[in-house]
Amino acid sequence: MSRPKRRRGVPLYVWVNDEEYAAIKERMEQAGTENLSGYIRKMALNGYVLNVDLAPVRELVSLQRRCANNLNQVAILVNTYGALYQSDITALQKDYVKLWGRVSDILQQLTAVVEH
């Protein structure tokens, strides 16, 4: 039974010393990868690996969902009873201020990443 053909048929050999190898392994760990060949290929083709923490974006999505849910509840209240209470408006305003504050923070962080 023959082995399937490789997707990449051209081997590339790179010789490094012990210190360079240790630095490459450290950067691989920082990038969250264990595949040396894939890491070297990615670096050679793209020049850098960007590992992004998306936790702030997930928080932003959660805030957006909460705001949308609150707005929907107010719309149901108005459509059902024809009434809108100041406390409902204040709660919506508070959530939207928090949401846009986080949007601003994340945009500043992304700008800092792009500028470097």
Quick one: pLDDT at residue 15?
94
CA Rg value for the chain: 25
pLDDT at 1: 61
- Give the burial class of 13: count Cβ atoms within 10 A of its Cβ; 0-12 exposed, 13-18 middle, 19 or more buried: exposed
pLDDT digits (tens, 9 = 90+) for 27-48: 999 888 899 998 998 888 888 6
Angle (deg, nearest 10), helices 55-81 and 86-115:
160
Mean pLDDT of all residues belonging to the chain: 84
CB 111 within 8 A of CB 103: no
Contact 94, 66 (CB under 8 A): no
pLDDT of 52 reads 74
Distance (Å, rounded) from C-alpha 12 to C-alpha 50? 23
